[in-house]
Structure 1
Amino acid sequence: MSLTFVRDPQVTPGLREEFSRLWYDVSRAGGSVGFVPSVTEEEVRAAAGAQFARVAAGEHRMLGAYAGDGESGADATGGRLVGTAFLRLHTDFKTRHWSMVVLVMLDPGLQGGGHGLRLMRETVDMARDAGLEALRLEVRGGMGLESFYGRLGFKEVGRVPGGLRLAADDYRDDVQMWLPLD
């Protein structure tokens, strides 16, 4: 399956709905995207609204990955939104040279086919084209994500043992990773 990547897609009602659906599906499948599988659609929809407010304010840039038949969907690509990544931009002069990568998501049915690596490579290219010098991301320990991002050149630069509490008895390491964009 081929994916089409769109940087800073137009935020339409259709995109909002597809993004909420994607975030919900990824969360329910156990994805490390800010929720646990017991999340409700209403919780995700509210968070999606806040995310698009950050995009509208220029605080975040969005990369959308689309797959489809070329006839229907939320974007001019005619495809269905199947993946995202956002660059959280900094306003402080000391950190404007790098960006935090957040909400990296891929439709659970597409995982394992190399699409996630393509999504992240396009995210890195988008950051380079924006003149950024480095990327940082945080991952939930215990999910093999350090290895995935390591294949793209990200290095672990910090770890807070038990820094994330997903449930009363489920603590995970909060792992910080860094990629210089030279």
Structure 2
Amino acid sequence: MTAHETPHAPAFAQITRPEDATGAVRRDLGECWAAVINAGGAVIPMGCPLPPVSPEAVDPALDAIVQRLAPRRGRLLLATVEGTLAGWVLLSREPHPLEAHCGTVNHLQTHVRFRRRGVGAALMRRLPDIARDEMGMERLRLTARAGLGLEDFYGRVGWTEVGRWPGALRVAPGDDRDEILMSLAL
């Protein structure tokens, strides 16, 4: 077995409506998100303090995501391994009519206990099918923080870098990073 294989392939589930995000699901999402932030992940939501954070610190951002879920507008894709949340990602349709054929991918996260087992790649390989076949999208986009190798990861799962905004992200004083724009035709 290589470092990128899981002993058990992840199972996928979708949350498409706010009422489907049970208390247990929200708890698992919040615990995953806090663990990712605390491990240095690039998914700190607006209004959230800098690490270390508790799962409760991401609750407002998580609540906002859940409230916007709708089958044609936004979905959470969850990956579980042996019944445990291993990772998740958000897929949203662009609201403007000129961009309604496009979707945006946000918050790709693999719980730190499942890192380097292919969970993130599995989520990103499953996502285009959902976007195309279930939501009628034709193109996806995402942004990534430079300096973490994320553009290489996304490139390996089929995405193309289409631009950069130099110095757009200030991680710390004196540590400005490019924001990388990536695209995937479906």
Identify the residue that residue 6 of structure 1 maps to in structure 2.
13
Select 2:41's aligned residue among 31, 39, 43. Answer: 31
- In structure 2, C-alpha distance between the alignment counterparts of 1:41 and 1:84, rounded to whole Å: 15
The alignment yields a C-alpha RMSD, in angstroms, of 1.8
Identify the residue that residue 126 of structure 2 maps to in structure 1.
122
- In structure 2, C-alpha distance between the alignment counterparts of 1:122 and 1:22, rounded to whole Å: 20
Contact 2:89 2:107 in 1 (8 A): yes
Select 2:180's aligned residue among 146, 161, 175. Answer: 175
Select 1:84's aligned residue among 88, 92, 117. Answer: 88
Contact 2:33 2:55 in 1 (8 A): no
> What letter is aligned with 2:62?
A
**CA apart distance, 1:40:** 4.2
1:2-40 deviation line (CA, Å, top 9, x unaligned): 311012262101111111101101111111113553344
**CA apart distance, 1:166:** 2.0
Identify the residue that residue 158 of structure 1 maps to in structure 2.
163
Select 2:32's aligned residue among 22, 40, 52. Answer: 22
How many matched pairs? 171
> What letter is aligned with 1:19?
L
Using structure 2 for the length normalisation, give the TM-score.
0.84
> What letter is aligned with 2:178?
D
1:87-166 correspondence to structure 2 within 5 Å? 87-129=91-133, 130-166=135-171
* C-alpha distance 180-52 of structure 1, shift in aligned 2 (>3 A): same
**CA apart distance, 1:58:** 6.4
1:64-105 deviation line (CA, Å, top 9, x unaligned): 11122xxxxxxxxxx122211111112211101110001111
Using structure 1 for the length normalisation, give the TM-score.
0.86
**CA apart distance, 1:57:** 9.4
> What letter is aligned with 1:3?
P
Matched, 1:47 2:61: yes
Percent pairwise identity = 38
- In structure 1, C-alpha distance between the alignment counterparts of 2:118 and 2:37, rounded to whole Å: 20
> What letter is aligned with 1:8?
I
Contact 1:7 1:126 in 2 (8 A): no
Moved more, 155-164 or 50-59: 50-59
* C-alpha distance 145-56 of structure 1, shift in aligned 2 (>3 A): same
